[in-house]
């Protein structure tokens, strides 16, 4: 199948405007005749659902939490980018576009990324109008900071809780539409399958998480905004419930999955403290603006070194390795570079702490330079959080950090309209393979989620709906009952195995395989091994998993089992993708492909494409489809942060 990206013709800066003019419109009176399902109420889902309802569509919004406000977007800390150039430091839509393309290591589409930068400015206006309390300067105007290696200050923030404030803005807009009756909410409801009628997405099957009831919902189009799949790794900074089920089941119904191996490992997370660890906590990247990363120069000094002892290590025995290797970017190198270097020093045996899997992030100099007050004003809540979790006080001793899985650039393949390879099925936010290429810049996920939901999807979905008959889709079609039976069958199977190992045990094992072989750096041998291990683990899962209780009640172990079953399949695809991509780019680092200095070595000749995988059936290897990436405006260069 030829993948049509549907990037509009014309100069880069005019593509979106032209496209908006060219897409078919649904007349206002007819919008109320259409129903749209939105799965997910994070930034991408809530903004889309609210905006679609404002336009007049009838919307059904689903989330698995008890309230839409708890979607995982709530946890984003650092900020949201926008090319406002309020700081007069030379930012522009083009610069944001360029930084994003380059940051993504040239594995994203120019057209999409430019559009993203273009609408970024509207997002800030929209959020401020909703009452989002962004940080301000004394003059009353909005404050910005530089974030994640950007050379300009374009990140808007609300203390360390930007995601929360943005999500509450979107949640409130959504709530307003609920009160008008245009949106019907389905909290504690999980999508377990997609329903196709004549090859087009026309509904979903859900499980009511409280009663266990399996239900069908029909609509004229379906939007997935179900977030990322970082929890394949078991330990990640994602919320415990974040899962791939909605996207994966859509994939199995025919939606292509793009670049699954592109995962982002965030450099500044609190290190693992023991086997009991259930998730990892991110410390905002903004900390690297003032904190200095180091480890001792010698292995002997590093071994078991605690934060309290670190204070006594003299300056000349410390290795500020990022500042040493990347003099111009220093501690602000992109995430993948910072993460990989932390791994290297730990592999060399210079990692600190009990596990040897940690490096220091030190604020002593910043506190000396700016005073404790200034540092507290900037990072107070993060420092408190760190102290709460570790028991160490970062005002007095350095923090310990280590990389952790944070974000998945891969996701459902979508065209310029955000439509997947299934007509009528759209994917937004982290659930699509999106605009971040092989590596996402800090503060750009929030931007993308809201761009998709507020400003892109509401237009582009009209292009599809305008071609549809103006009538309610009936859920009588046999496709619904078939899907219901599939879902029920799968649940019955899970409940009937009654094996010995808990779902968490399987999940933890999968996570370890993924982290060891498909994590920060990968090689062919390891990946091949991982594939075998995952297959074995999956087989064992279906014979030996122990899921407690019945379907007809709130059953958290069944919920988990459903999700882990999908992770066990997705994990294998990630490995396949990582194995096939014989180059290093962004978050995907293949040890075989590196420069002499150990930097990622891209292969633009053979791999400047989007790998879109097509499902072929249970236990079958998937089929690779390629969407070649065309670069008309930027020159592909090797990233250098020296």
Partner 1 sequence: MNLTLKVWRQKNQNDKGKMETYQVSDISPDMSFLEMMDVLNEQLIKEDIEPVHFDHDCREGICGMCSMHINGRPHGPQQAVTTCQLHMRSFKDGDTITIEPWRAGAFPVVKDLVVDRTSFDRIIQAGGYVSVNTGGVPDANEIPIPKSVADEAFNSATCIGCGACVAACKNASAMLFTSAKIAQLAMLPQGKTEAKTRAEKMVAQMDAEGFGACTNTGACSAECPKEISLENIARMNREYFSAKAKSENTDM
What are the residue numbers of the active site? 335
Q: Return the residues of window 194-233 that contact partner 1 according to CB under 8 A.
A: 210
Nearest-angstrom CA–CA distance, 523 and 504 = 27
- Which residue in 16, 57, 64, 256 binds ligand FAD (CB under 6 A)? 64
Nearest-angstrom CA–CA distance, 333 and 340 = 11
Neighbours of 245 (CB within 10 A): 23
Neighbours of 229 (CB within 10 A): 30
Stretch in the footprint of partner 1 (CB under 8 A) among 27-35, 213-221, 248-256, 554-562? 554-562
Residue 483 engages ligand FAD in binding (rule: CB under 6 A)? no
**What number of chain residues touch ligand FAD (CB under 6 A)?**
45
Stretch in the footprint of ligand FAD (CB under 6 A) among 1-9, 221-229, 295-303, 506-514? 221-229
Residue 261 engages ligand FAD in binding (rule: CB under 6 A)? no
Could you tell me the two tokens for 117? Answer: 């930068």
Q: At what angle are helices 15-22 and 110-130 packed, to 10 degrees?
A: 80
Nearest-angstrom CA–CA distance, 587 and 607 = 15
What angle is formed at CA 474 by the lines to CA 469 and CA 479, rounded to 5 degrees? 105
Please say whether the beta carbons of 173 and 185 come within 8 A.
no
Neighbours of 65 (CB within 10 A): 18
Residue 39 engages partner 1 in binding (rule: CB under 8 A)? no
Which neighbouring-strand residues pair with 62?
39, 186
If the CB atoms of residues 10 and 133 are measured against partner 1, the closer one turns out to be 133
- Which residue in 8, 40, 398, 437 binds ligand FAD (CB under 6 A)? 40
If the CB atoms of residues 164 and 220 are measured against partner 1, the closer one turns out to be 164
**What number of chain residues touch partner 1 (CB under 8 A)?**
80
Sign of CA pseudo-dihedral 421, 423, 425, 428: positive
- Which residue in 238, 268, 339, 434 binds ligand FAD (CB under 6 A)? 238
Residue 293 engages ligand FAD in binding (rule: CB under 6 A)? no
What string marks each residue from 131 to 160 as x (binds ligand FAD by CB under 6 A) or -? Answer: ------------------------------
Residue 168 engages partner 1 in binding (rule: CB under 8 A)? yes
Question: Which residue do the tokens 């929890």 mark?
Answer: 231
Q: Is 202 exposed, middle or buried (0-12, 13-18, 19+ CB in 10 A)?
A: buried
For strand 411-412 and strand 257-258, is the pairing parallel, antiparallel, or unpaired?
antiparallel
Nearest-angstrom CA–CA distance, 41 and 46 = 4
Nearest-angstrom CA–CA distance, 336 and 440 = 9
Please say whether the beta carbons of 567 and 521 come within 8 A.
no
Residue 141 engages partner 1 in binding (rule: CB under 8 A)? yes
Could you tell me the two tokens for 189? Answer: 């409801």
Residue 496 engages partner 1 in binding (rule: CB under 8 A)? no
Q: Which does 187 bind (CB under 5 to 8 A by kind): partner 1, ligand FAD, none?
A: partner 1
Q: Which does 29 bind (CB under 5 to 8 A by kind): partner 1, ligand FAD, none?
A: none
- Which residue in 282, 414, 520, 578 binds ligand FAD (CB under 6 A)? 282
Q: For residue 363, how many C-alpha atoms fall within 13 Å in the half-sphere facing its CB? A: 27
Nearest-angstrom CA–CA distance, 334 and 290 = 15
Residue 92 engages partner 1 in binding (rule: CB under 8 A)? no
Residue 242 engages ligand FAD in binding (rule: CB under 6 A)? yes
Nearest-angstrom CA–CA distance, 393 and 397 = 6
Nearest-angstrom CA–CA distance, 392 and 382 = 12
If the CB atoms of residues 44 and 456 are measured against ligand FAD, the closer one turns out to be 44
> C-beta of 117: minimal distance to ligand FAD in Å?
14
Q: Return the residues of window 383-412 that contact ligand FAD according to CB under 6 A.
A: 406-407
Residue 420 engages ligand FAD in binding (rule: CB under 6 A)? no
DSSP 265: E
Could you tell me the two tokens for 135? Answer: 């940080």
Residue 191 engages ligand FAD in binding (rule: CB under 6 A)? yes
Nearest-angstrom CA–CA distance, 584 and 261 = 11
Residue 65 engages ligand FAD in binding (rule: CB under 6 A)? yes
Residue nearest to ligand FAD according to CB distances in the complex:
42
Residue 63 engages ligand FAD in binding (rule: CB under 6 A)? yes
> C-beta of 157: minimal distance to ligand FAD in Å?
8
- Which residue in 4, 18, 27, 136 binds partner 1 (CB under 8 A)? 136
Could you tell me the two tokens for 355? Answer: 């596990």
Residue 352 engages ligand FAD in binding (rule: CB under 6 A)? no
Which neighbouring-strand residues pair with 534?
none
Residue 278 engages partner 1 in binding (rule: CB under 8 A)? yes
If the CB atoms of residues 222 and 295 are measured against ligand FAD, the closer one turns out to be 222
Residue 548 engages partner 1 in binding (rule: CB under 8 A)? yes
> C-beta of 326: minimal distance to partner 1 in Å?
30
- Which residue in 11, 133, 327, 489 binds partner 1 (CB under 8 A)? 133
Q: At what angle are helices 524-544 and 556-580 packed, to 10 degrees?
A: 160
Nearest-angstrom CA–CA distance, 112 and 116 = 6
Residue 389 engages partner 1 in binding (rule: CB under 8 A)? yes
Q: Return the residues of window 435-494 that contact partner 1 according to CB under 8 A.
A: 454-455, 458
414: left (phi over 0), alpha (psi -120 to 50) or beta: beta
> C-beta of 191: minimal distance to ligand FAD in Å?
4
Q: Which does 215 bind (CB under 5 to 8 A by kind): partner 1, ligand FAD, none?
A: none
What angle is formed at CA 70 by the lines to CA 64 and CA 72, rounded to 5 degrees? 85
Please say whether the beta carbons of 252 and 604 come within 8 A.
no
Q: Which does 509 bind (CB under 5 to 8 A by kind): partner 1, ligand FAD, none?
A: none
In the sheet with 200-208, reading across from the earlier edge strand, the strands are 189-197, 200-208, 214-218
Residue 243 engages ligand FAD in binding (rule: CB under 6 A)? yes
Q: Is 392 exposed, middle or buried (0-12, 13-18, 19+ CB in 10 A)?
A: middle
> C-beta of 269: minimal distance to partner 1 in Å?
11
- Which residue in 9, 137, 300, 348 binds partner 1 (CB under 8 A)? 137
Q: Which does 546 bind (CB under 5 to 8 A by kind): ligand FAD, partner 1, none?
A: partner 1
Residue 122 engages partner 1 in binding (rule: CB under 8 A)? yes
- Does residue 16 sit in helix, strand or coil? helix
- Which residue in 117, 146, 226, 421 binds ligand FAD (CB under 6 A)? 226
- Which residue in 30, 87, 281, 603 binds partner 1 (CB under 8 A)? 281
Point out which residues bind ligand FAD (CB under 6 A): 39-45, 62-65, 71-73, 75-80, 162-163, 190-191, 225-228, 237-238, 242-243, 245-246, 282, 406-407, 429-431, 443-446, 449
């Amino acid at each position: 199948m030829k993948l049509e990206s549907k990037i509009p013709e014309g100069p880069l800066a005019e593509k979106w405007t032209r496209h908006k003019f060219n897409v078919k419109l649904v007349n206002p009176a007819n919008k109320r005749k259409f129903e749209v399902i939105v799965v997910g109420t994070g930034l991408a889902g809530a903004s889309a659902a609210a905006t679609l309802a404002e336009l007049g569509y009838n919307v059904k919004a689903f989330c698995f939490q008890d309230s839409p406000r708890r979607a995982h977007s709530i946890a984003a800390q650092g900020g949201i980018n926008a090319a406002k150039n309020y700081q007069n430091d030379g930012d522009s839509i083009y610069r944001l576009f360029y930084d994003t393309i380059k940051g993504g290591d040239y594995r994203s589409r120019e057209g999409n990324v430019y559009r993203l930068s273009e609408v970024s400015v509207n997002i800030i206006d929209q959020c401020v109008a909703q009452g989002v309390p962004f940080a301000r300067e004394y003059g009353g105007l909005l404050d910005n900071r530089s974030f994640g290696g950007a050379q300009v200050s374009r990140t808007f923030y609300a203390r360390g809780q930007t995601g929360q404030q943005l999500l509450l803005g979107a949640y409130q807009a959504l709530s307003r539409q609920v009160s008008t009756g245009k949106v019907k909410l389905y909290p504690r409801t999980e999508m377990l399958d997609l329903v196709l009628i004549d090859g087009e997405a026309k509904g979903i099957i859900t499980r009511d998480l409280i009663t266990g009831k399996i239900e069908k919902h029909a609509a004229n189009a379906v939007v997935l905004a179900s977030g990322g799949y970082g929890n394949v790794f078991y330990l990640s900074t994602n919320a415990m419930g974040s899962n791939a089920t909605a996207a994966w089941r859509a994939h199995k119904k025919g939606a292509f999955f793009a670049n699954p191996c592109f995962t982002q490992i965030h450099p500044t997370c609190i290190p693992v403290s023991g086997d009991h660890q259930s998730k990892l906590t991110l410390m905002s990247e903004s900390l690297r603006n003032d904190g200095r990363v180091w480890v001792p120069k010698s292995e002997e000094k590093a071994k078991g070194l605690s934060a309290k002892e670190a204070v006594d290590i003299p300056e000349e025995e410390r290795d500020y390795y990022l500042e040493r290797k990347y003099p111009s970017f220093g501690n602000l190198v992109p995430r993948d570079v910072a993460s990989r270097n932390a791994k290297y020093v730990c592999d060399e045996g210079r990692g600190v702490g009990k596990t040897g899997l940690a490096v220091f992030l030190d604020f002593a100099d910043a506190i000396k330079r700016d005073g404790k007050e200034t540092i507290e004003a900037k990072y107070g809540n993060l420092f408190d959080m760190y102290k709460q979790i570790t028991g160490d006080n970062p005002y007095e001793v350095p923090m310990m950090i280590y990389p952790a899985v944070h974000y998945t650039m891969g996701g459902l393949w979508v065209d310029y309209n955000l439509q997947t390879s299934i007509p009528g099925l759209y994917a937004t936010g982290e659930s699509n393979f999106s605009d971040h290429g092989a590596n996402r810049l800090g503060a750009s996920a929030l931007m993308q989620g809201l761009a998709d939901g507020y400003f892109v999807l509401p237009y582009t979905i009209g292009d599809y709906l305008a071609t549809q008959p103006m009538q309610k889709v009936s859920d009588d079609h046999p496709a619904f009952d078939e899907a219901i039976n599939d879902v029920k069958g799968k649940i019955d199977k899970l409940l009937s195995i009654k094996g010995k190992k808990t779902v968490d045990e399987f999940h933890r094992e999968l996570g370890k395989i993924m982290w060891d072989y498909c994590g920060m750096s990968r090689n062919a041998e390891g990946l091949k091994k991982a594939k075998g291990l995952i297959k074995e683990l999956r087989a064992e899962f279906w014979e030996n998993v122990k899921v407690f209780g019945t379907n007809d009640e709130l059953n958290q172990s069944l919920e988990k089992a459903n999700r882990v079953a999908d992770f066990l399949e997705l994990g294998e695809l990630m490995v396949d993708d990582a194995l096939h991509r014989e180059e290093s780019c962004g978050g995907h680092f293949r040890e075989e492909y590196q420069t002499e200095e150990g930097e990622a070595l891209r292969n633009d000749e053979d791999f400047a494409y989007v790998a879109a995988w097509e499902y072929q059936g249970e236990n079958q290897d998937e089929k690779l489809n390629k969407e070649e990436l065309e670069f008309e405006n930027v020159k592909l260069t090797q990233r250098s942060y020296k």
